[in-house]
Chain A
Amino acid sequence: MTRARLWAGALVILAFAVFAVQSLRAAMNPYVTFAQAAASSRTVQVMGHLSSKGAIFYDLDSRNLHFTMTDQEGNEAQVVFAGAKPDNFEHADSLVVVGRFRGQVFWAHRLLVKCPSKYQDQDRGR
């Protein structure tokens, strides 16, 4: 009885561990550069900053946010983000975009902003 219960417990734990690892795999977003992102078909995160070259604007038909971002190796890419421009977007120290390339354009489904250090802990932008 106890032995059987032990086995059943172990089986449940094993099944859950496999499930957790699977979920983790599916949800893992590596931090990469635009060059690596372009070569990859999975969802990735790119860290960088707003490029001074391109304009920042909402496309009025799709209401998506368009901007140009420079990654940490200095490469630039057009980014489209379907959502609200985070507070302090223009003055952010750095940006993180989560998404993937479709053609020449990086489609972000999350856009994270890191603010200048004056505002410390409780700060965030989404």
Chain B
Amino acid sequence: MIGSLALYTAFAAALVAGWRFAALARGDKSALRPALRAYQVHTACLAVASLYLLDALVTRKFQFSYVFAHTDVSLPTHYLVSAFWAGQEGSLLLWALLGAGVAGLVIRHEQKLMPFLMPTILAAQGFLVLFLMVLSPFKQLGFVPENGQGLNPMLLDPWMVIHPPLTFLAYALLVVPFAFAVAALWKQDYHDGFLRIIPWALVGWLFMGAGGIFVGGAWAYRVLGWGGYWGWDPVENAALLPWLTGAALVHGLLMQRQRRIFTRANLFLAITTYVLVVFATFLTRSGAMAEFSVHAFVDTPLTSLLGLFLAVLALGGYGMFAWRYRALAGQGQDEAFLSRPGTFGLAMLALGVSAFLVLLGTLLPLLTKAIGTPASPDQSFYWRTNAPVWLVLFLLLAVCPFLGNRPHKAQDLWNEHKLWGLVPLAATIAAYALGVRHPYDLVLLAAVFLALGTNLVALARYARRGLRYTGGYLAHVGLALMCVGIVASTSYTQSERLALVPGEPQTALGYQITYMGYSIAANKNILLIDVGSSRGSFVAQPRMYLAGSRLMREPYIARNLWRDLYMTPLELVDDDLGAWFILGKGESIDLEGYTIKFTEFTFTMPSGDDSVVEVGAVLEVTSGGHTEVLVPVVRQRGDEYEVISAELPDGQVIIIEAINAGSGQARFAVVTGTLQELLLLEVKVKPLISVLALGTVLLIAGTFIATWHRFLSRG
């Protein structure tokens, strides 16, 4: 009751505040007080609603359907807090709450522009609260269950605790650049006021990358056990898109500040970045992609409302852009390619192309469905098409530190810096020696190492002037390292699957791997695996456990500077170690001294009706010149199956494991009768994950420094 009331009030207050701020923007000075008051009410109501939900979670009020669905009595307190954003309703509430906080920062830091910014921000807030009114986190079950259903076990990880809040903070922050673009188009003030956007765009982009992409990738790598961090899934792509356009935006803005160019592109990118944020939300919460993604989406009642929000943003933003398009002409100028502005422009173009390709691939199932058979692209599409784009980006990155604002001649550049040519040469040779063979990888790595070198030198030069000037170069060094890590871990991962009998060592990928058995702690099977190599040995402990009906597999990662050893348990089975084979009618197989020929199926109904059906397979078994006929049988009674074996001359038995009536095939197994414990284990060696991690940290640190610098260096 309190919660819902708070939401309704928050919605009304957002509308009132937006309306009053708009009046203030038109010159009605008396609107300021009511506008601020209404904003405060809006924020207070969202805070009350959030506290109310938090209280319900922490005190385990299972009568709330949200609490029931995402917690249980055994959940520790810190995960009770993270259950806040385990579902759609709670994460939308968190987004709205963070949005209100960001709006407060805008009021505090942008007093002059505030009346023009706030109507847009509050309209977005209004939509978020509207979603919450439709999909309320305060829905009651009508009774009080003893226990809840528990938190999704995949979310029981520290990285997953911080991933959603950081992502929603990015979403909440990225509305500000959109509002700046709208305000600029509204007031036709494209430079002095508009350029105050820079730290906002930077900080939003920072959290989009750090929280939305990198933390998510780290979580996938640590928890999911498939051995990767990025799968080009629609949900992942949806986070990548605003990051790519945001990257183009922050670069364009820095150039606009220096040279008053790229104004039109920056307005377009600021609008597009937030439209893509909402598009991501639409894609992942509306059920539009439900048929085409591994993520299980539920078709929520939000589909049409989210569509409306997206349409309002896109039509409003792009509409204003188109309306002012002519007035914007002549704000920029033609730039020579070999100059700082030239490389910035090309880099922005390349980032835009990359974003377009990712968007195209993501939407392809919907596009192809509209014209015929739906189809979706393989991961190879994203890698292949982005590869040349990123090669261009690293080449630009490599030459950029040499360039000034004036155009350069390629000849002069070469004469001045030709010693640098040794870097890509050395990198290529080193990479080749380390086993990189694919020509494209060699070319890319050459460009990446050149970029790494030139940016490191520039970094050292700027570091002398002060830490706050190093952001850009530090970020670029990080990006180059990331690229090295991505190329190495994507194309040069080795993988083997092992079937391990306890106590019997096997060699795989240079390690001696012995399954020692398992112990049980906290309801988890802890598998003990002795891993030996030339550098000593250790015991790896991947885990397997049941969470509800789900079998969870927790990988074990042995981290190392050069390579990670990544072990995922696949299955623990009691196996008879027998042979199995599939035969069609008339086919035969030679096995352990027998020739076994499958001639036909027999069908009998011993009880006279079809309540019991026996399917037999007539097998002619020949050994030592002697043939006998064996008939293993599967007896079906309702849903129950019973396997009746047939005995081979040496005492082993043969059974039918499965029948495919359509193709006339059956799968048989020869069973020795003794069971043996077996662990199926996937072992991967993934090179340079540590370099990828280091690069990510440097990219985030560099972006953080740049953001901080831009906040400091304005009035």
Contacts and interface: CB of A to CB of B under 8 A. Distances in A.
B149 interface: yes
Given A60-B678, A78-B582, A126 B384 contact: no
B301 interface: no
Given A30-B375, A85-B571, A104 B550 contact: no
Contacts of A124: 224, 231, 233, 235, 294-295
A75 B665 contact: no
A122 B155 contact: yes
B381 A27 contact: yes
B652 interface: no
Given A19-B388, A29-B376, A53-B659, A121 B550 contact: no
A115 B154 CA distance: 13
B550 A88 contact: yes
A43 B35 CA distance: 59
A60 B295 contact: no
B384 A104 contact: no
A23 B657 contact: no
B552 A126 contact: no
Nearest to A63: B497
A4 interface: no
Interface in B173-222: none
B573 interface: yes
A84 B570 contact: yes
Given A58-B571, A124-B233, A23 B381 contact: yes
A121 B570 contact: no
Interface string B117-130: 00000000000000
Interface string A88-126: 111101001010000010000000111111111111111
Contact of A84 (B374, B550, B584, B682): B682
A75 B662 contact: yes
B-side interface size class: 35 or more
In this complex, which of A27, A32, A53, A57 has the most chain B Cβ atoms within 10 angstroms of its Cβ?
A27
A110 B291 CA distance: 16
Interface in B581-610: 582, 584
A39 to B, nearest CB: 13
B498 interface: yes
Given A20-B357, A27-B377, A59-B580, A118 B149 contact: yes
B373 A30 contact: yes
B225 interface: yes
Given A23-B381, A27-B380, A87-B225, A123 B660 contact: no
B245 interface: no
A14 interface: no
Nearest to B334: A2
B361 to A, nearest CB: 8
B297 interface: yes
Interface in A30-83: 30-32, 43, 45, 47, 53-55, 57-60, 63, 68, 75-76, 78, 83
B680 A58 contact: yes
A88 B69 CA distance: 18
A-side interface size class: 35 or more
A87 B553 contact: yes
Contacts of A93: 296
B637 interface: no
A16 interface: yes
Interface in A10-31: 16, 19-20, 23-24, 26-31
B417 to A, nearest CB: 24
B28 interface: no
Nearest to B387: A23
B69 A60 contact: no
A43 B378 contact: yes
Contacts of B88: 120-121
Interface string B373-400: 1111110110011001000000000000
Contacts of A118: 69, 149, 152
Interface in B219-247: 224-226, 228, 231, 233, 235
B266 interface: no
Given A20-B357, A118-B149, A126-B224, A27 B384 contact: yes
A113 B297 CA distance: 12
Contacts of B682: 83-84
B403 interface: no
A84 to B, nearest CB: 5
Contacts of A45: 375-376
B247 to A, nearest CB: 20
A43 B378 CA distance: 10
A120 B298 contact: yes
Given A43-B378, A123-B295, A63 B550 contact: no
A108 B116 CA distance: 55
Contacts of B226: 84, 86, 126
B655 to A, nearest CB: 11
A45 B291 CA distance: 12
Contacts of B263: none
Contacts of B373: 30-32
Contacts of A83: 497, 682
In this complex, which of B87, B285, B658, B680 has the most chain A Cβ atoms within 10 angstroms of its Cβ?
B658
Interface in B664-681: 665, 667, 678, 680
A59 B164 CA distance: 39
A63 B378 CA distance: 24
A119 B570 CA distance: 22
Interface in B295-319: 295-298
Nearest to A104: B663
Interface of A: 2, 16, 19-20, 23-24, 26-32, 43, 45, 47, 53-55, 57-60, 63, 68, 75-76, 78, 83-91, 93, 96, 98, 104, 112-126
Given A117-B296, A124-B224, 17 more contacts: A19-B385, A24-B361, A24-B364, A24-B381, A29-B377, A53-B659, A54-B660, A55-B658, A63-B499, A78-B582, A84-B225, A87-B225, A91-B549, A115-B296, A118-B149, A122-B163, A124-B233
28 contacts: A20-B385, A23-B380, A23-B385, A24-B385, A26-B380, A28-B375, A28-B378, A30-B374, A30-B375, A31-B365, A54-B667, A55-B657, A55-B667, A57-B657, A63-B497, A68-B660, A84-B570, A87-B550, A87-B552, A88-B549, A112-B294, A114-B294, A117-B298, A118-B69, A122-B155, A124-B224, A124-B233, A124-B295
